[in-house]
Structure 1
Amino acid sequence: MTRLYLIRHGQTKWNIESRAQGSKNVELTEEGRNQAVLLAKSMKKYRIDAIYSSDLDRAYETAKILGKTMNLEVKKIDGLREMSFGEWEGLTNEEIQRSYLKDYTVWRNEPHKAIIPGGEKLLEVQKRGLKAIYDIVKENENKNIVVVSHGVIIKSIILGLMDIDLSYFYKIRQDNTCMNVIEYKSYGPVLVTLNNTCHLENMK
């Protein structure tokens, strides 16, 4: 059986400031690195065969911390990078609402219909994310795979794998370094764990 561990990157400064990160390269905070270390320790009990990551630094650094603990190299896949938010990138939620209220309202209420100036559509993100996952799973049949990526694309991937419409995008939550586990059965993928952050319970 193939098992996929789909993980969001650790905390960044822009996460704290509620800024749209998207395709911008933003480093982990010290807390973000600590989150990744705790995740790595909690995953020592699993037999992991391969690690893949988005090519953006915050995901790649998180993946490298896992790889160091598991003694595995990290393979970068640009198809796993976060959704591009175009003109919104670097802006806080308040700034986006102030300057792009109409577009922001659609994004928050009907994300699958949103057209962000200069950015990607959610369906486009889902398509490239699913393609990356399908390729990875095909290459690693009957193995345990870690994939480190980003909140928006992970949510879109999970919805796609579960055959759930993208309109339910905001029904899923993805915290920093959360772990989602998907098992591939004979009848298709099964979501076993969603947004697991038990490894962070003892953080002060």
Structure 2
Amino acid sequence: MAAVTTLLLVRHGLTAMTGPVLAGWTPGVRLDDRGRGQVARLAARLADLPLAAVVTSPLERCAETAEAIAAGHGDPVGEIETDERFGEVRYGDWTGRPLKELAEEPLWRVVQAHPSAARFPGADGESLAAAQHRAVTAVRDWNGRVAAEHGPDALYLVCSHGDIIKSIVADALGLHLDQFQRIQADPASLTVIRYTETRPFVVRVNDTGGDVAGLVPKPPEEGSGKAGLGPGEAPVGGGA
């Protein structure tokens, strides 16, 4: 049977810096009361899903989100894994600055219209292309690891950041990175990508309240040798 690995991408909940300030890798940025409430509701929604692994960015706001989801899970999910490749884009000298102020910078237009050409200033500034590459590489690695350890049709969860999630979705959709700003990933939202041997299927994007029971892949049809399709997935060849 072909392996089908389902990735649940979760953006961390709200913090005091979410929105007005580019937090980046600023240490000590934690969930605020709104964020903790968002994450508690998300954890309740995901409690019955059979998660093979929970992986998080090393930043505190993601670690707290992942911990809340794991703690609220119906079955033990094991130790939460940390993978730096799912960490926020390294914004260099832009880190900690207000977005209103950054919007006046010439680089802002490049980030919005031609992000594949954008590299953030400063010694530790990263390009968006490099950030996408590390995140997508991490997804591929985890897909292989989860499939090897838990078999076909395994689900696992990664808690990360808005730009990282958007870049992973763009890759799964076959979009050039310059289109990734058209994708949205709100705080505490759920994005789901199902990876097969032939192609990824983007199952959900920026979901903040839908039912999740249908995310568990259906067993293959007897004698078909094919992994089951989730809701909304078309068979090979498309069709109405």
Unaligned runs of at least 5 residues, structure 1: 200-204
1:100-115 aligned within 5 A: 101-115=105-119
Would you identify which runs of 4 or more consecutive aligned residues in structure 1 move more than 3 Å?
none
Aligned length: 196
In structure 2, the residue matched to 1:15 is: 18
Unaligned runs of at least 5 residues, structure 2: 211-240
In structure 1, the residue matched to 2:166 is: 155
In structure 2, the residue matched to 1:189 is: 200
Counterpart amino acid of residue 19 in structure 1:
V
In structure 2, the residue matched to 1:3 is: 6
Distance in 1 of aligned mates of 2:145 and 2:176:
27
Distance in 1 of aligned mates of 2:183 and 2:103:
22
Distance in 2 of aligned mates of 1:146 and 1:175:
16
Partner secondary structure for residue 48 of structure 2: coil
- RMSD of aligned residue pairs (Cα, Å): 1.3
CA contact 2:47–2:69 (8 Å) conserved in 1: no
Distance in 2 of aligned mates of 1:36 and 1:177:
6
Residue 94 of structure 1: CA displacement? Answer: 1.7
1:116-155 aligned within 5 A: 116-118=120-122, 119-141=125-147, 142=152, 143-155=154-166
Distance in 1 of aligned mates of 2:116 and 2:136:
16
TM-score, reference length from structure 1? 0.91
Q: Which moved more, 1:22-31 or 1:171-180?
A: 22-31
Of 87, 97, 121, which residue of structure 2 is paired with 1:91? 97
Residue 173 of structure 1: CA displacement? Answer: 0.5
CA contact 2:15–2:30 (8 Å) conserved in 1: yes
Distance in 2 of aligned mates of 1:55 and 1:115:
22
Distance in 2 of aligned mates of 1:115 and 1:84:
9
Distance in 2 of aligned mates of 1:149 and 1:39:
15
Counterpart amino acid of residue 157 in structure 1:
I
From the CA coordinates, give the structure whose radius of gyration is larger: 2
Q: Which has the higher helix share?
A: 1
In structure 2, the residue matched to 1:202 is: none
Distance in 2 of aligned mates of 1:97 and 1:66:
34
CA contact 2:5–2:194 (8 Å) conserved in 1: yes
Distance in 2 of aligned mates of 1:185 and 1:131:
16
TM-score, reference length from structure 2? 0.78
Residue 185 of structure 1: CA displacement? Answer: 2.5
Distance in 2 of aligned mates of 1:5 and 1:154:
10
CA contact 2:172–2:193 (8 Å) conserved in 1: no
Counterpart amino acid of residue 186 in structure 1:
E
Distance in 2 of aligned mates of 1:121 and 1:167:
13
- Is 1:176 equivalent to 2:179 in the alignment? no
In structure 1, the residue matched to 2:231 is: none
